[in-house]
Structure 1
Amino acid sequence: MIGEIIVFIITYFLIMVRPWKLNEATGALIGALLMAAFLQPHQILEALGFSTAYATPLVNTWNVVLILIELMVISTFLDDYGFFEYCAVKAMHLAGGDTRKLFTYTYAVTCFITAFTSNDIAILTLTPIILKFCRRAGLNAKPFMYSFFFAANIASMFLYIGNLTNILIGDAFKLGYFDFTAYMFLPTMAAIIVNYVIFYYMFRGSMEASYPVADDTHAGALIKNKAMVAVGLVVLAFVLIGCGFANWLLLPLSIVTTVGAIAIYIAERKPVLRTKRISWRVVVFVISLFIVVKGLEVSGVNAIIGSFILSIVGQNPVYATFFISMASAFMCNVVNNIPMTAMMVPITSSIAMTPEMALAMAYSLVIGSNLGANITITGALAGILWIECARIEKWSTGISEFIKIGLTVTPIVILASAAVLALEILLF
């Protein structure tokens, strides 16, 4: 057990501190290679989602990774043809030079784009757009950058495929695709509204200036090819609806996303370009972390954590909802949200003895794994991507400042979301 824990700590250090200019993917890969020394070959296969003669994994990792890759294909396609930039600039025009309206519209557009793609995609595409506009219009970027980042992590709770962690949880707990959205709609809306109200009050003094609308780019001109954007939107709609039917038929969701990605490749006929646009660093990062977390599971660490949680919440779904939502959110900032989710899924599913407890555990993990990214920059891959994209545009924020805002806002947002979820579980 000691060896596995040491490897986990080394991996965390390499990902968060990134010595010798290592990126997060390289750090995770080094950790996976070190952890492989403590694992049997069949355990590595199980970590990747393949059944062996010894065990059937709770999560089909290969399915999750395929979905991640293929959603990147669809999302980068829409981004490259200007759809996301069009949405952002359209919101800026609708605000009519009113900075506070622009704050509201930016928040709303971020929630919309994230809800139907993913938080990572929204962050990668909107960060440079928002910073360039703020610089051109002479606006303080801080309110917009914080509100859009927090909104992206909140809105990703809405859909089964809105975040990689959602897919892990849904896959492990066998959640229905449409049931997921039905349960998470109100908790997500509660989080969106509470977070918006707090931020609007917090940043109201920085949003008094107006901005010149006439100097901005014409929104319609940002669409580079209307036919291609139409194809992308049709494919996206197909994936969002088709995944529901695949889930109902007990088929891997990657079947649907694969069809969608193939349609994009056929329509565009630029396979090399589209494949290069996939963030392969993220893929390596995710696969490596699954192997690292498998080492903790095999070592017995998971069993110890499970016993501790059970001693606190028992089989009370309300206690479980609040405890798991808050605890998992803070754990994200100790181990990052992806390994936290991969580690907590088998723990929470094994101690849930009733249907109500299983629901409480599953959806509370969704809340924690998404909102935990808003406590510190390193709480999730999204934060690392956000700050790196921002630095390219020569904007940054202090880690202490982010933590101060995160600790002020996020616990309140988590409590609001968890309260709505607990009420749903009790009533329905």
Structure 2
Amino acid sequence: MAPKAAAPAGYLASLAVAVLLAAALIPPGPEKTAQLIAVTAFLGTILGAIFFWKFRVAFALAMISLLLFTGVMTPEQMIKYMHMDVITFLIGMMIVIGFLEERGFFEYLLDRLVKPLGRSGKTLFAGLLVLAAFMASLVDEVTSILFMMALLLRITKKYDMDIVPFMIAVVIATNVGSSFTVVGNPIGVLIAFSGGFSFLDFINYSFLTVGLWVLLLTAVLSLVYWRSYVRELDEKLRRLGTEFEAEAERGSMAAPWAVFIATIGGLILHHHIEAALGLPKNSTLVAIPIVMAAVSLMLSGDKAREIVERKVEWWSLMFFMFFFATVGGIAETGVAKLMAGAILDLAGGDPALIMVLTLWASGILSAFMDNVLAVATFIAILQQLAPTLGHEAVFPAWWAMLWGGCYGGNMTMIGSTANIVALGIVEKARGRYLRFVEWLRPGLLFATAQMLLATLLAYLRFFVLGLY
């Protein structure tokens, strides 16, 4: 279906204003024309995703074509900036997750975890938030929300309750959990490969420093904010019990368990494997999902092709590839260096202020556009700042990007992929359509509280205790 008539006008007007502003801000010089073309391609992709979400791949392809036809970027440079290590990692993980989904592995886990939580409304509500967070950290936010929503549909149907409060709380917890590890969110993968961080770095700097405490805050705040809903759930649990209708028998879980443990274990130990084998940093971070994807496809038999075609998000991966390349355009032409200089001037070279600015700017941007777009932009800026300030000075800002992208996405109903997926499930299953403000009320509260806590904890670790 063609986009509505108002959208093209809004797109063109926004792009024109943004490019004119860039033209006024970019200083004169021999590179200015190339820089303006790079800015046009970069903003054209972002605004295309905002105004025409369903057509975002088309806009990314069109904008990279602009860079190629004008000579601003060569095909070799385009491939260099596509982050094929990130794309390959995601393909491998999607195949592994697809295999586990086909075998009913996640439903098997959830069914066995929910009954012990049903002692009271508080334990069930808070327990499912914790479950959603840790599931997102071990697989990814979208897989987690798909299976958590299946569980919420069963629970709210049995107890005849509105699914929306439960859904919003679980999505918020899922986004928090996606910051715990490198596999929880595509922005984590992007940061890991761009910054050279390992799985254990994420556990140390993100999960233990900030993520665990933000999850605790989220659980407590949820119980307070939705206290009347929790009381209703508690009363119905006592009256109706926790027995659910049995589902069809599933096959053996031995192979799924082996694949799951080998994949997660390999990712946790990848840095030690590289050291033992004398391999370059993060090489096995790519290799482990690939080899486990191969094992998964061999175990899938006749369904192998179907898993590759249906379970890998080729549309999203294409968008990521070509958007990353347009970000490469602003890096290659020196625009990212100019942006880095502006942040440096604003922060006065203060690493703490750079961290705070990065966290809040990426968080606010992530509320209104895909968090991958926001983080990819800031990565290009940080890579320009590092040679000037030194690695240690920008080190906290790498983690600030992760927290800003994950927690800022809780602010609005379009802030992350998990939000959009959950809304689609509720609309299809229950015919319930949310207004923007219905999400914004709790979302703004939770996102602000989470980013404030992340800022305080990060400042304490890096700038008070000096623990890098």
Same fold (TM over 0.5): yes
1:206 positional shift: 1.4
Say whether 1:255 aligns with 2:291: no
User: Which stretches in structure 2 are left out of the alignment for 5+ residues?
Assistant: 1-34
* Equivalent AA in structure 1 for residue 186 of structure 2: L
Match of 1:213 among 223, 241, 255: 241
SS in 2 for 1:374: coil
Say whether 1:398 aligns with 2:398: no
SS in 1 for 2:399: helix
1:316 corresponds in structure 2 to 350
More displaced, 89-98 or 256-265? Answer: 89-98
Change (3 A) 1:132 1:181: same
- Cα deviation, 1:209-266, whole Å, max 9, x if unaligned, reads 22433551348x6654322332332333343234334565324221111111111112
Say whether 1:95 aligns with 2:117: yes
1:305 positional shift: 2.4
Change (3 A) 1:282 1:346: same
More displaced, 104-113 or 85-94? Answer: 85-94
* Equivalent AA in structure 1 for residue 290 of structure 2: T
Contact 1:16 1:378 in 2 (8 A): no
1:328 corresponds in structure 2 to 362
1:159 corresponds in structure 2 to 181
Match of 1:235 among 262, 265, 273: 262
1:273 corresponds in structure 2 to 306
CA RMSD of aligned residues (A): 2.5
1:386 corresponds in structure 2 to 422
Match of 1:202 among 211, 220, 225: 225
Contact 1:81 1:228 in 2 (8 A): no
1:273 positional shift: 2.3
Contact 1:116 1:159 in 2 (8 A): yes
Change (3 A) 1:301 1:333: farther
Bigger radius of gyration, 1 or 2?
A: 2
Contact 2:337 2:384 in 1 (8 A): no
Change (3 A) 1:136 1:244: farther
1:113 corresponds in structure 2 to 135
Q: Distance in 1 between matches of 2:78 and 2:366?
A: 20
1:148 positional shift: 1.2
Identity among equivalent pairs (%): 19
* Equivalent AA in structure 2 for residue 192 of structure 1: L
1:80 positional shift: 2.4
1:244 corresponds in structure 2 to 271
Contact 2:42 2:63 in 1 (8 A): no
Q: Distance in 2 between matches of 1:311 and 1:134?
A: 52
Change (3 A) 1:189 1:65: same
1:197 positional shift: 1.6
- Cα deviation, 1:324-350, whole Å, max 9, x if unaligned, reads 111111122344211221111121132
1:380 positional shift: 2.9
* Equivalent AA in structure 2 for residue 177 of structure 1: F
Q: Distance in 2 between matches of 1:213 and 1:79?
A: 28
1:28 corresponds in structure 2 to 57
1:94 positional shift: 1.8
Change (3 A) 1:167 1:247: farther
* Equivalent AA in structure 2 for residue 120 of structure 1: V
Q: Distance in 2 between matches of 1:233 and 1:335?
A: 32
SS in 1 for 2:231: coil
Q: Distance in 2 between matches of 1:181 and 1:272?
A: 34
Contact 2:67 2:73 in 1 (8 A): no
1:202 positional shift: 0.6
Say how many residue pairs are matched: 413
SS in 2 for 1:392: helix
1:100 positional shift: 2.4
Q: Distance in 2 between matches of 1:45 and 1:386?
A: 39
Change (3 A) 1:327 1:247: farther
SS in 1 for 2:64: helix
SS in 1 for 2:91: helix
Q: Distance in 2 between matches of 1:299 and 1:379?
A: 30
Contact 1:88 1:106 in 2 (8 A): no
Change (3 A) 1:263 1:198: same
2:412 corresponds in structure 1 to 376
* Equivalent AA in structure 1 for residue 423 of structure 2: I
Change (3 A) 1:47 1:167: farther
Q: Distance in 2 between matches of 1:386 and 1:46?
A: 37
5 Å-filtered alignment, 1:55-204, equals 61-96=83-118, 98-185=120-207, 186-204=209-227
1:114 positional shift: 1.0
Contact 1:72 1:121 in 2 (8 A): no
Contact 1:77 1:232 in 2 (8 A): no
More displaced, 397-406 or 235-244? Answer: 235-244
Contact 1:373 1:382 in 2 (8 A): no
